[in-house]
Structure 1
Amino acid sequence: MSIDAKQTSIVADMALAPEGHLKIDWVSAHMPVLNRIREQFEKDQPFKGLKVTIALHLEAKTAYLAKVVKAGGADVTITGSNPLSTQDDVCAALVEDGVTVFAKYNPEPAEYKALMLKALDTKPDLIIDDGGDLVTILHSERQDLIPNIRGGAEETTTGIIRLKALEKEGALQFPMVAVNDAFCKHLFDNRYGTGQSVFDGINRTTNLVVSGKTVVVVGYGWCGKGVAMRAKGLGANVVVTEIDAIKAVEAYMDGFAVMPMIDAAKVGDIFVTVTGNRDVIRGEHYEVMKNGAILSNAGHFDVEVNKPELEALSTNVRTVRKNIEEYKLKDGRSIYLLAEGRLVNLAAGDGHPAEIMDMTFALQALALRFVNEQYESLGGKVANVPYHLDEQVARLKLESLGIGIDALTAEQQSYLDSWNAHE
């Protein structure tokens, strides 16, 4: 039985729907790859009769992904994957478009969890997860729903880390496709998307110049590479901190200063954490930071900047501007934390550009179709996105840009396929 979105949904204010429709219409006009996939889904109906539950940062681009999955025949339910990234007008618009929504901007922690549980109460066949929250709930509190679940797709580095830990223990009960590890995800979304959107969020929130400042990038994975690249482009002096020797050498070769966090803490003006780990900025670092240092996080959870230790060192905490909290330390210094230490690009901005998420969400849609077709053979494991799907997205992107590329001749292919065709 189909779910009645208007009767079931929980959103902040349905009167906000008109503004939400405008946002969704804008991004959909700039997502040509996903539009092509929507056309195919409308024709093939790969999810006909199935229920799909999605947990992602609930803004316009995510909303359009939900509409594309719905166009493929699914009964779609969506909830937020972060309390500060949900946009209430987009939620209302999605309800009018027939998607069941359980999400509000900045709910209390208990309500946030309750809304996520509501989204799972629909008994999904397939899921799209961001950070591993749905999978974690299913494997702990709602194991009764697991027999119905065919599998799903995971969006983020943090989520993949959690999934692989489950898989290593032999506890993962259904297949999850590691969309984050696909080429068209980490090469473009993690690098160019995170790089731009982090500074969109920082600049919008602080209204301060980046040029001439020292930006400390904590972690030099694909997201860190993008943040460092954009900081350099804005005129910053860039320092990278790392625990991985190979990535540290790479950062050095890319032209950035590399040093331990305790040294970087002394010189940084703006800090961006992108590690997926906890406490990468903590008490010992606050002790030596400059007056006026700005802290931000672009990792999935708000644990990278240790807030309890910062508060313990402070005599007063106050909001000095939207999404900026000033921590006044006992020695008189001020340290500023953006967006409560949550993802600065989404909690204090609109997230990645539409053209970037076009490729990522195209991968999500195709990965969901793949796991629906192959779940019986995949079993309880973390599966890679098949290369042909990665390549399909890239080719659709090139077509949308009017760019052509070469193809191998038969002779060239034969040469590459032969072990002795060197003459």
Structure 2
Amino acid sequence: MMKGIVNGGSTADRRRSDRVSGESAPLRYALALLLWACGGGEVGGPRPELPGVASVEVIPGATLIVGEGGEADFRAVARTGTGMAVSGSLRWSVEDPEIATIVSEGAATAVVRGVAPGVTRIAAAVDGVRGEARLEVFVPEEVARYEPGRSYFGRNGYVEYIPGDMGIVLSAPHGGALLPAEIPDRAGGTHVTDTNTRELALAMRDALLELTGRTPHVIISHLVRAKLDPNREIVEAAEGNPYAEQAWREFQAWIETARTTVAEDFASGLYLDIHGHGHAIDRLELGYLLGRDDLNLTDTALDRAEVVSRTSIRTLAERSSLAFSQLLRGEMSLGGLLEAEDVASVPSPADPSPGDAPYFRGGYNTREHGSLAAGETVSGIQIEHHYRGVRDTDRNRRDYAARAARALRRFMLEHYGEHNAGIGGRSPP
């Protein structure tokens, strides 16, 4: 018997309730209870009868437990046919106890623990009415040692990690194409896909392999940006969807795995977040977490320690023999070396600042995985690529990738040393 659902109610009470015209059922019940409590019915008479349970909702309706022994919380709400919530003691059950088990439960809550990989259903029932929720237990592959060149995939192939063997890490967060129904489109944020940036990152990998005999680490999100934005913190990136949250965690974790490997193998390295922009000027935009106002400064003002402390290449700047302004836009800056390969970039010697034009300074990934924090040994740069002549065709992507590979090799030689730059592979053309 549900708590609060009792038999009885005086005739006088029912008449009073019937005279309340145009009111919703829940309000009529509330008025009846108020009259009963105030003595409007027979003294000591029973409470008015409430309707029975029509539905039970289990919340969340679908969720994910990651790893054997992981846990998830559920709650249930019983409702009448008019949608009014009523209290009561629910009975919880798991469809397949070999996948998950209930470890604790209350009148309307339950804690469920994952036992083994698979999909099952969690149910809550009262008075013969039952509600269910989908539960998946996902156990990631345990990798003792990542093998360079092999692709590793997260849950449902939403995220891919290709380990490398040089001191460069590439990520492509916004070039995916997968549209799984289990992840709804995000209500907020930007949904525009950075077209062909996934292919561009892979072309850059191939070009570095051809040039040096070694490969960078590559992390790719295969989800369209409307489903997940891995270049945002998790709340905005996934909007609470458990499957999108898992993909976000995989993407971020594999960047950290790659950075850790680079730090262990080479002591320091470079992280590049690969994007595409639609601005009017056809040039690469190199983001160091510094805005237009910063880059529009003179070299002397740009060289101040206060500015250096706010950049994603802070550690590189502190260790470099070059002035910071020269590291950003001098001949041996990444922009300068790209310019030498006939790839227009800002900042660079020919284009030292964006002026009043739109410019992307770098986002979440550059901030989290660069060397903004003191002591981080892997510095980071966001590269925004224009479309025409760079991302638009396979031929142009490969031509750009070859130029970028030569610029990156020279940058690594200049600022990180021969070992990190992949010396020992093929000679540059």
Which structure has greater strand proportion? 2
- Higher relative contact order (CA closer than 8 Å, sequence separation 6+): 1
Which structure has greater helix proportion? 1
TM-score, length of structure 1 as denominator length: 0.25
Higher Cα Rg: structure 1 or 2?
Answer: 2
TM-score, length of structure 2 as denominator length: 0.25
